[in-house]
Amino acid sequence: MTTLDPDLLRTFLAFAEGGSLARAAAAVNRSPSAVTAQMQRLEALVGESLLAPMGRGRALTPVGEEFVEHARRILDAHRDAWLSLKGARADGRVALGSTQDFADTTLPALLRRFARSHPRVRLDLRIGRTKELMTAYEQGQIDILLTMRQGPAADEVLVLREPMIWLCSADGLASAEPELPLAVLDPPCGFRAAAIAALEAARRPFRIAATSPSLSGLRAAVLSGIAVTARTDRFLGAGMVVAPRHLELPALPAAEFSLRLRPQAEGAPADLAALLSDELPRSGPIY
């Protein structure tokens, strides 16, 4: 029976999710030529063409599109088996610091998987804003840090790049006015800085209509129609939509998040970091 190397499947999924060999190469930290060789090897094992030329790049064939789900199931089973074998006797404590962007969306399902495989490990969760979490991490109070990226770091195990988008209430703004009402978190905040910079560059009149130290306060302001805000689609939820085109809002940059693991961390912290590193890029927001 033919066996499928998990490394080949990870690279294949990196292509399926990134849409190009170059993005896949960056995601798996290999050269484009190495990624091409891996895909050729996988196609030889499967006995079918998974990628086909399209313009200057490559695209999934119908067989390739079908194979995506098979690859995901195989890697999920592989990951769960690996975690269970390592975690059955593991105990101790893992301290995880994360922004609310992930705590409200993808973290619960991933933490559930970790709890099943590491039933004796105590999980200490700290949900907050990037600055305070980074301080705790640097003071050794947190093992794993998942926050907005402040710059390259030697202990990064994953960098996520997600588009920033303008969001507003599904019912629209509560009042029409010449200046765009903007809802933002208290500084320092990367989303706040990006939104203001984009509006100023576009010479779009605006005013700060609502501020909050927390995402729950920001959400309340947007849902009420007081203002628009800039976040990623992880912030979407009931009653909130992408801002309509007639508002003519400027383009925003990508938001960068990083996953960092305390240097020399072993055991349960390293296991959880490995799970998050593998799964976060392919587990988008859950509404």
Cα torsion for 73, 76, 81, 82, to the nearest 10°?
140
Q: Which SS3 state, helix, strand or coil, does residue 208 take?
A: strand
Closest CA to 10 of 284, 281, 266: 281
Interhelix angle for 21-28 vs 6-18, to 10°? Answer: 130
Assign domain 165-252 one CATH number from 3.40.50.2000, 3.40.190.10, 3.40.50.300, 3.60.15.10. Answer: 3.40.190.10
Q: Which SS3 state, helix, strand or coil, does residue 30 take?
A: coil
Cα–Cα separations (whole angstroms), residue 22 to 25, 52, 57, 211: 5, 15, 10, 40
- Whether the Cβ atoms of residue 250 and residue 198 lie closer than 8 Å to each other: yes
In the block, tokens 């508002």 appear at 247
Specify the domain boundaries for CATH 3.40.190.10 within the chain.
Answer: 96-149+263-282, 165-252
Closest CA to 39 of 28, 54, 51, 27: 51
What is the pLDDT confidence band of residue 145, given thresholds at 50, 70 and 90? very high
pLDDT at 201 (0 to 100): 96
- pLDDT (mean) for 282-287: 49
DSSP state of 228: B
Specify the domain boundaries for CATH 1.10.10.10 within the chain.
Answer: 6-86
Q: Say which CATH topology domain 96-149+263-282 has.
A: D-Maltodextrin-Binding Protein; domain 2 (3.40.190)
Judge whether residue 108 has pLDDT over 80. yes
- Whether the Cβ atoms of residue 275 and residue 222 lie closer than 8 Å to each other: no
Judge whether residue 209 has pLDDT over 90. yes
Phi and psi torsions of 109, nearest 5°: -65, -35
Closest CA to 123 of 149, 148, 151, 91: 91
- pLDDT (mean) for 174-178: 83
How does pLDDT run across 65-101, given as a tens digit for each residue?
A: 888 888 888 877 777 776 666 545 555 789 999 998 8
Distance between CA 44 and CA 243 in Å, rounded?
46
Q: Say which CATH topology domain 6-86 has.
A: Arc Repressor Mutant, subunit A (1.10.10)
Distance between CA 248 and CA 256 in Å, rounded?
24
- pLDDT (mean) for 262-268: 85
Judge whether residue 285 has pLDDT over 80. no
Q: With 0-12 CB in 10 A as exposed, 13-18 as middle and 19+ as buried, what is 254?
A: exposed
- Whether the Cβ atoms of residue 84 and residue 78 lie closer than 8 Å to each other: no
Rounded to two decimals, the pTM is: 0.68
